[in-house]
Amino acid sequence: MRLTDLLITGLATWRVSNMLVQEYGPFGMFVRVRELAGIGHDASGKPETWHENNVLACVYCTSVWVAPVMMRFPKFARVMAVSALAILVSKLGEK
């Protein structure tokens, strides 16, 4: 695996994992996925309660399962990597 492929896959894995674990998503899609997995939310859709053995409880745990998917679909991974970079640049600009 080339270094650029590793960076793209890593950024894409973080982006998708973060969406699944922490974001509301369009039409509450990610909240619904987490609720199906037994995770409770506050009024804004932020996760509040979960079981420690839940794969959607943290980005680290989720990334183990998301990474192979990103490796299998490199074009989708590129889109997610660009999204991740945009978010990181935005966060750096806030400081």
Kindly report whether the global pTM for this prediction surpasses the value 0.95: no
Q: What is the pLDDT of residue 83?
A: 96
E-strand ranges in 7-85 read: 40-41, 47-49
Q: What is the pLDDT of residue 53?
A: 67
Question: Among 18-22, 30-34, 42-46, 91-95, where is mean pLDDT lowest?
Answer: 42-46
Q: How confident is the model at residue 64 (pLDDT cuts 50, 70, 90)?
A: very high
Q: How confident is the model at residue 50 (pLDDT cuts 50, 70, 90)?
A: low
Decide if pLDDT at 67 tops 70.
yes
Q: Which residues, at least 6 apart from 76, have a Cβ–Cβ distance to it below 8 Å? A: 12, 70
